Amino acid sequence: MYSEKVMDHFTNPRNVGEIENASGVGTVGNAKCGDIMRIYLDIDDDGIIKDVKFKTFGCGAAVATSSMATELVKGKNVQQALEVTNKAVMEALDGLPPVKVHCSLLAEEAIHAALWDYAQKKGIKIEGLEKPPQDIGEIVEEEDY
Amino acid sequence: MRQIYLDNAATTCVKEEVLREILPYFTEDYANPSAIYSFAQKASQAVEDARRKAAELIGANANEIYFTAGGSESDNWALKAAAEAYNSKGKHIITSAIEHHAILHTCSYLEKQGYEVTYLKVDEYGKISLEELKKAVRPDTILISVMTANNEIGTIEPIKEIGKIAHENGILFHTDAVQAYGHIPIDVNEMNIDMLSASGHKLGGPKGTGLLYIRKGVKIRSFIHGGAQERNRRAGTLNTAGIVGLGKAAELAKAQMQSRAEYETKLRDHLISRVLSEIPYSRLNGDPKDRLPNNANFCFRFIEGESMLIMLDRLGIYASSGSACTSGSLDPSHVLLAIGLPHEIAYGSLRLTLSEETTLKDIDHTVDELKGIIKRLRDMSPLYADFISEKKGA
Ligand SMILES: Cc1ncc(COP(=O)(O)O)c(C=O)c1O
């Protein structure tokens, strides 16, 4: 059901991890829906994305779209990163099954959320970037069993 | 690559002995078993032998067994025909929240036809409460349908007691025994069962074969209309090969039930104890004792089921999950939600169902690989990262 590219990015995801003191961090999705993506950006003084990492909870497509999204924004400047759409992520992965399209949307949102965080921290405004929806409400409840 | 098939609740491999018995009915004794000439004799005899074997497995009479095209058809028939036959008495049906969709979707269809359905809740182990059942019974209740054993979490329901309550109240009792038939002892008389659904492909028989046991005297009508087969109750040229296969599988299941159950239970318990002791933040779903001998179902926190399945698949290990991604809907399994798991934990479920072919080596290999897979996925999971940092902070 998945393309070879998706399988490749799922089984060998690029840029998994965290960045300490990242320039911007964005988390989108919620556990209740079954997908959470968190993207870390390291942006230099010229506004170039020097490094990017991600952590994702979700299905194969969620991991693969996160991985591809990080690849697509790496080395780009902030404006270019903003132009990485869910369609671009999907195309780069040779497509997604229809029920998984929302994963690519989440990847786009995760980048936007990280850029928003960066802009907030820097006290700047990024042309064309809107405040991302905040629905990371449902972190796993602390239950012992 | 070594292949380890651990999805025997989805379907089983047709047994050698079963296949051997089936084959002649395709090319040699292929006559229509309902025909009157001598050429059809062998086929019709084979069907009747199969009927007897299928009946013996549950202590029924051969003439109470009606062959169908599978468990789903049997469930549909039992519910829709019983609803129709008894609607002059009332339009209320009781079932459980954790039934297979063959029951649940039939119930929602009936609801649209003006029937009322009570879905009994289950406890954290997946068992219905007999007290709640008694309270749900009404003067207009015409049918109680509760599964013998659950297909996802393997919990075995108190069927005998449910049947007793049904009969004390003059209510028909149906059970979906698709996962239990041939796996655990069932006696329709001792357990007060009026109708029972079973399927051939869950016990080493062919797919697309099944049966509905209908106790003598239960007046439900035909569901598939047409010819006079199955004593006018289920039309269609008999699937001789399929029926023979189901009969043979039932015969083998009866002969081997005890030894197989002992073998599978031992492997299952080894699997469960290794997983729970070696993989942190894991839990067993379903009743630890009253469960199918071949079923283990776990939840692993902070990860999602489909990712687990794909990684297992790449290692030649075939399993199943109740995560939303694998069910094709947006919600995780209704069974896992019914036992009270929050969505995010239900997403991380894994069902491993064994067969008599499964070996200790298979199990150990699977657990070893699973440990690595779960670690990898957790290392990738923001939920796990948050959990660990909170733990450190606390
Ligand atoms: C409990 C239960 N009922 C009904 C069915 C449907 O049976 P069949 O596949 O033979 O239609 C299944 C099969 O998955 C099942 O597990």
Q: In what order do the strands lie in the sheet with B116-120?
A: B65-68, B210-214, B195-199, B172-176, B141-145, B92-96, B116-120
Mark whether B325 is an active-site residue.
Answer: yes
Q: Which residue in the set A32, A60, A145 is minimally distant from B307, CB to CB?
A: A60
Tokens representing B33?
């078993």
CB contact at 8 A, A18 and B331: no
Pick among A59, A67, A142, A144 to test the B interface (most B CBs inside 10 A):
A59
Q: Answer whether residue A30 is part of any domain.
A: yes
B304/A62 touch (CB, cutoff 8 Å), yes or no: yes
Of the pLDDT bands very low, low, confident and very high (cuts 50, 70, 90), residue A33 is confident
Chain A, chain B: beta-carbon pairs less than 8 Å apart:
85
Low-confidence ranges of chain B (pLDDT < 50): none
pTM of structure: 0.94
B298, B278 in Cβ contact below 8 A?
Answer: no
Tell me the C-alpha distance between B352 and B318, whole Å: 8
Q: Which CATH number fits domain B16-253: 3.20.20.10, 3.40.640.10, 3.40.50.620, 1.10.1020.10?
A: 3.40.640.10
Query: How much is the pLDDT for A1?
Result: 83
> Amino acid identity, residue A28?
V
For residue A134, tell me if it sits in a domain.
Answer: no
Residues from B contacting A (CB-CB < 8 Å) are: 283, 301-304, 306-307, 310-311, 314, 323-325, 328, 330, 332, 342-345, 347, 379-387
What is the rounded CA–CA span in Å between residue B139 and residue B94?
A: 12
State the residue for tokens 């059942």.
Answer: B133
Domain residue ranges of chain B, discontinuous segments joined by +: 4-10+257-393, 16-253
Digit-coded pLDDT (tens) for A87-131 = 999 999 999 998 899 899 999 999 999 999 999 999 999 988 988
Q: A46: domain CATH number?
A: 3.90.1010.10
CATH architecture of structural domain B4-10+257-393 = Alpha-Beta Complex (3.90)
- Sequence-distant (6+) residues with CB within 8 A of B150 are B98, B126, B157, B179, B286, B335
Q: How confident is the model at residue A144 (pLDDT cuts 50, 70, 90)?
A: very low
Alpha carbons B350 and B300: distance in angstroms, whole number: 8
Using DSSP's 3-state secondary structure scheme, residue A36 falls into strand
Say how many domains are in chain A: 1
Q: A135 in a domain, yes or no?
A: no
Which residues lie closer than 8 Å to B64 by C-beta, 6 or more apart? B55, B188, B213, B214, B215, B216
Q: Under a CB-based contact definition with an 8 Å cutoff, are residues A107 and A69 in contact?
A: yes
Predicted local confidence at residue B322, as pLDDT: 82
Kindly give the distance from the C-alpha atom of residue B287 to the centroid of ligand 1, in angstroms, as a whole number: 20
Q: Which domain holds residue A74?
A: 4-122
pLDDT given at position B330? 65
Q: Distance, in angstroms, between A81 CA and closest chain B CA?
A: 22
Whether B204 and B187 have beta carbons less than 8 Å apart is answered as: no
Atom of ligand 1 nearest to the CA of B72: 11
- Dump pLDDT digits (tens) for B103-142: 999 999 999 999 999 999 999 999 999 999 999 999 999 9
On whether residue A97 sits in a domain, the answer given is: yes
Residue A79 domain-assigned? yes
Q: What is the mean pLDDT of chain A?
A: 90
3-state secondary structure labels for all residues of chain B: CCCEECECCCCCCCCHHHHHHHCHHHHCCCCCCCCCCHHHHHHHHHHHHHHHHHHHCCCCCHHHEEEECCHHHHHHHHHHHHHHHHCCCCCEEEEECCCCHHHHHHHHHHHHCCCEEEEECECCCCCECHHHHHHHCCCCEEEEECCCECCCCCEECCHHHHHHHHHHCCCEEEEECCCCCCCCCCCCCCCCCCEEEEEHHHCCCCCCCEEEEECCCCCCCCCCCCCCHHHHCCCCCCCHHHHHHHHHHHHHHHHHHHHHHHHHHHHHHHHHHHHHHHCCCEEECCCCCCECCCEEEEEECCCCHHHHHHHHHHCCEECECCCHHHHCCCCCCHHHHHCCCCHHHHCCEEEEECCCCCCHHHHHHHHHHHHHHHHHHHHCCHHHHHHHHHHHHC
Handedness of CA B159, B160, B162, B167 (dihedral sign): positive
Residue A142 domain-assigned (yes or no)? no
Q: Of the candidates A16, A34, A141, which has its C-beta nearest B325's C-beta?
A: A34
Q: What ipTM does the predicted assembly reach?
A: 0.88
pLDDT of residue B2: 86
Q: What are phi and psi of B132, to 5 degrees?
A: -65, -35
